[in-house]
Amino acid sequence: MENVKTKPIDFFLIIGSMVALYAIVINILNLLFTIINHAYPALDSYYNATSSISFPVAFLIIVFPIFAILEWFLNKNYNDHPEKKDLPIKKWLSYLTLFISGAVIAGSLVTVLYYFLDGRDLTSGFLLKTFSVLIILFLVFGYYISETKDILTSKSKKVWLVSSLVLVILSIVLGFVVIGSPKTQRLKKYDMQKVSDIQQLQSEVVSFWQINGELPKSLPELKDQYGYVSLNQPQSEKPYEYSTLSLKSFEICADFSFKSEKNNLYSRSIIDTKYNYNTPSDWSYDQGRSCFTYVINEDIYKPSVR
């Protein structure tokens, strides 16, 4: 058989299909890892699930149909011109995919065995992530090993494609079930913005006390001194609640749609053993009205007036 030349359309179809496949694998694993992290959060680290589910879901919804269309054109091209199955670029990329898939599968199994032999805790989250990697890559490996052996028929390729589509749809549905709908995630982002606003307001209140020697009687006084301060809560536009508790302590309150996802490792307000002043420990909050208390330590924040 004479050498088959690679035409531009062949090159871009093959490259496009392979790039789409790698990107889909990465994003579906990203989505599954996000779901697992949300269901089994680590107690010693902060994790915000809402920051990473939107992109992989959007990517899969748009790119997977493109991948399916590219595969349809490739299969039609191979059926019309069977000799193109032997294109060098197709073989190189197929074997490269087999190598990468096999290496990651072996690495995942080695990691699990190492953790077991080393006496480490095999947490549910770790095992589920490993299982997800193995399932996805076994599917990829099985497909390309069958293709390199030329035992895939048009019917079996459709079965592989439909199976992949079902896996993608199940992952997206599971993500929304575990983490929440887009509306839920939007409300959580509002809650995060409120915490950020309160942190800034606390800082500005302390600065006001340093400059004026007293706490502001209301938050609008900060607006007069710092014009960029946000005094209203996002979404509802209700003003943040502010009240003084003593000459050097105050609290700021807001309404939250959900309870914070971070585990409360400490109480709402603690005494810092190094500087001996009160400060919110982990910025956790409850659903509904929740307040953050702050006590100014004059040994640290020196007032500029006496």
Look up residue 251 and give its DSSP letter: E
Per-residue pLDDT reduced to its tens digit, 187-240: 888 998 999 899 889 888 888 888 888 898 888 888 766 667 788 898 888 999
With respect to residue 306, please indicate whether it lies within any of the assigned structural domains.
Answer: no
Q: Which of 156, 180, 204 lies at the terminal end of a domain, its last residue?
A: 180
| 109 and 209, same domain (yes or no) | no
Model confidence at 173: pLDDT above 70? yes
Task: Please state the rounded mean pLDDT for residues 264-278.
Answer: 38
Q: Does 139 share its domain with 227?
A: no
Task: Report the pLDDT averaged over residues 73-83.
Answer: 82
Residue 4 has what DSSP assignment?
A: P
Query: pLDDT value at position 45?
Result: 46
- Residues of the domain holding 250: 184-295
pLDDT of 24 reads: 92
Do 175 and 262 fall within a single domain?
Answer: no
Confidence at residue 23, expressed as pLDDT on a 0 to 100 scale: 93
Q: Please return the burial class of 1, using the count of CB atoms within 10 Å of its CB with bins 0-12, 13-18 and 19+.
A: exposed
Helix count and strand count (H, E) for the chain: 7, 5
Q: Which two tokens stand for residue 217?
A: 């009687």
Mean pLDDT, the chain, rounded, equals: 81
Shared domain check, 166 and 212:
no
pLDDT tens, residue by residue, 22-63: 999 999 999 998 888 888 776 444 444 444 678 898 899 999
The total domain count for the chain is: 2
Residue at which a domain ends, from 129, 162, 180 = 180
